[in-house]
Chain A
Amino acid sequence: VHHIDFEGRFFSVKGPSIVPRSPQGRPPIVVRATGAPSLDVAARRADIVRVAPDRVAEARAAIDGAGRTGLVTVLVDVPASSAVSDALATLRHDTGADGAVIVFDEIPDAAASVTSIAPFVRQNGPTTLRDRLGRARPASRYVRTLEGAAL
């Protein structure tokens, strides 16, 4: 339990957090990047960035530029149409994205949706969202190391 003593332009927060640290360390941060300012924040801060299919390369470049290569998952929007499984099958090749946010026009027929996307997702996976993204649990900023041994 630690005071954070944060003082910034918009916020000042004494702390400590009232809620214990979560099983996945902290919630993954998702940013939808639509232009330079949001892409800059996304590259530096996000765990997941959502972009239009034609901006994946730009997003990757920004992430590399921020020194976070391999730490950010890039997702593109895919409409939930009858062709959703075709779109998912060629997604990585066509766009370079890591995955998709399936956007429904109406409340979906759950069974039909699951059937169409089932071949593309892991059936039994880890329990936290961060684990599913294949990311390590971030170390607490308060972890102290002794010589040779991490606590």
Chain B
Amino acid sequence: VTFHTQTSRKQIHLAAHFPGVNNTTIWADPLSGSQIDFSSFEHFAATAERGKFDFLFLAEGLRVREHNGQIHDLDVVGRPDTVTVLAAVAAITEHLGLVGTLNTTFNEPFELARQLASIELVSGGRTGWNIVTSNDAFTGENFRRGGFLGNADRYTRAAEFVDVSEALWADQKIDHHGEFFDVVGQLSIPVSPQGKPIILQAGVSDEGRDLAARYADAIFSPFADLESGRTFYADIKRRLAGFGRGADELKILPGATFVLGDTEAEAEERYQYERAAQVSGATALRTLEAVWGRDLSEYDPDGPLPSVDLVVENVELTAGRATHHIDRRGSALAWVEKAEADKLSIREVAIAKLSRGILVGTPAQVADRIDEFVQTEASDGFILVPSITPTGLDEFVDKVIPLLQERGSYRTDYEGATLRENLFA
């Protein structure tokens, strides 16, 4: 008989986010590869599976972003369809979960539920769905409806969308007549080995948190510092009880990028270099324009910030992004105060304001940091996005994963065959 005297450590869950629209991708690096070629997805997924990651994560944008009426070409312009890439990755992996971001505002439930059930079939139950909603007329112009949903209605539609999908995944013959959908029929695709796809949610508004507590198996959270992470973690776990769910039934995974070095000083130096490479002068100016609501192309990115008095309210200069500036003048004031306090140029303050969720240090320090988040209930792991496509994850898998395994906080092999078995092992 073996006695386990040590309390077993909480297990870390990691996901690999294929880089997309962000300010973390370094374009100019000689190692930077295609954002589109399947070989990039192939390499990235193989690395994630080698590192025993829970899942691959794909974002999605249903309209190419624009800034001040022009295509925003300082970032990824387009990418292949999420469902198609996940199906292709399913064929070249065995254990890795496959999570795609798919929109409930512009899709139809029968169609999307069928596509996800089909990836479940070809992957043997490794699929996940990151549910996103949208209310912007800009994206809607690709779907005929324009901005057809009010801000509150988008979550009502999402909830009904998931209800219909879940009934279809149970391979029931359904006769649904609701506020948004009328669906009569059956998928006639067998129930998947994991029952149904894993559900992720990323919204952190009050409605978004309730939607997550009711339906989600995991949350893609923006809270990647210990204090806000713990507050968010406690809030979500409290909401779970309100929906009759246990605290362990939902994983909280903040998004983060990482910078490694052989010494702390080397990591810090590399971090400074990477941030400068990630946020060019042009990117800094466009970020500033989005806050100020006006053209600022005459400004020197290495010079001081424009006056707050120049802010134009109620103009959304950048279209197709996840975050919008609601209190424009307040946001601008925060930028100016930050710049004045730390004596920063436009580009430097953009780097500071855009730097969230970055794990910097030696492999041991980064492993410590991740483990601290999980053992102290600031998260259940991380969704990691590297800065180089597609090889940026290699170093993390080679250097940090073995340290997490040594301390008994991370799997040395996949626990099960399905994503659900691994995420809730």
Q: Is B64 part of the binding interface, using a Cβ–Cβ cutoff of 8 Å? A: yes
Of all chain A residues, which has the CB nearest B79? A18
Closest Cβ of chain B to A8, distance in Å, is: 10
Query: Which secondary structure characterizes the binding site on chain A?
Result: loop
Contact of B64 among A11, A12, A13, A18 (CB under 8 A): A18
Whether the pair B144, A1 counts as a contact (CB closer than 8 A) is no
A12 to B, closest residue via Cβ: B144
Q: How far is the CA of A77 from the CA of B36 in the complex (A)?
A: 37
**Which residue from B36, B63, B80, B81 sits with its C-beta under 8 Å from A14?**
B63
A67 interfacial contact with B, CB 8 Å:
no
- Report if A20 contacts B (CB, 8 A): yes
Q: How far is the CB of A21 from chain B (nearest CB, A)?
A: 11
Residue pair B78, A19 in contact (C-beta under 8 Å): yes
Instruction: Name A14's closest neighbour in chain B (CB-CB).
Output: B141
Report yes or no: A19 in contact with B79, Cβ–Cβ below 8 A.
yes
Given A12-B144, A16-B71, check contact A1 B80 (CB 8 Å): no
Shortest Cβ distance from B80 into A: residue: A19
Question: Is B231 an interface position by the 8 A CB rule?
Answer: no
Residues of A within 8 A of B390 (CB): none
Question: CA of A122 to CA of B387 in the docked complex: distance in angstroms?
Answer: 45
Measured CB to CB, the closest approach of chain A to B141, in angstroms, equals 4
B255 — which chain A residues lie within 8 A by C-beta?
none
The CA-CA distance from A20 to B73 in the complex, in Å, is: 14
Q: Which residues of A contact B36 (CB under 8 A)?
A: 19-20
Q: Is the CB of B142 within 8 A of A13?
A: yes
Residue among B61, B73, B78, B81 with the highest chain A CB neighbour number at 10 A: B78
Whether A11 lies near B77 (C-beta < 8 A) is no
Residue B62 interfacial (CB < 8 Å): yes
B64 pairs with A16, CB closer than 8 A: yes
- As a 0/1 sequence over residues 50 to 86 of chain B, the CB contacts with chain A under 8 angstroms (1 = contact) are 0000000000011110000001010001111100000
Q: Are A1's CB and B71's CB within 8 A?
A: yes
Contact residues in B for A13 (Cβ distance below 8 Å): 141-142, 144
Interface residues in B187-207 by Cβ distance below 8 A to A read none
A15, B80: Cα distance in complex, Å: 15
A38 at the interface (CB under 8 A from B): no
Residue interface mask B76-117, A partner, CB < 8 A = 1: 011111000000000000000000000000000000000000
Contact check, B142 vs A15: say whether CB atoms are below 8 A apart.
yes
CA distance A17 to B73 in the complex (A): 14
* CB-contacts of A8-42 with B (<8 A): 11-20
A18 and B62: CB pair below 8 A?
A: yes
Q: Which residue of A lies closest to B62 (CB)?
A: A18
**In contact, A18 and B63 (Cβ under 8 angstroms):** yes
Chain A residues whose C-beta falls within 8 Å of the C-beta of B80 in the assembled complex: 19
One digit per residue, 1 when the CB lies within 8 angstroms of any chain B CB and 0 when it does not, for chain A 65-79 equals: 000000000000000
Q: Decide: A19 and B81 in contact? CB cutoff 8 A.
A: yes
Q: Are the C-beta atoms of B78 and A1 separated by less than 8 Å?
A: yes
* Distance from A46 Cβ to chain B, minimum over Cβ atoms (Å): 23
CB distance from A111 to the nearest CB of B (A): 22
Q: How far is the CB of B264 from chain A (nearest CB, A)?
A: 41
Cross-interface CB contact of B144 among A11, A16, A18, cutoff 8 Å: A11
Query: Do B141 and A18 touch across chains, with their CB atoms under 8 A apart?
Result: no
Known contacts A1-B64, A19-B36; can you find 18 more A-B pairs with CB under 8 A?
Answer: A1-B71, A1-B77, A1-B78, A11-B144, A12-B141, A13-B141, A13-B144, A14-B63, A14-B142, A16-B64, A17-B78, A18-B62, A18-B63, A18-B78, A18-B79, A19-B78, A19-B79, A20-B78
B interface residues, Cβ below 8 angstroms from A: 36, 61-64, 71, 73, 77-81, 141-142, 144
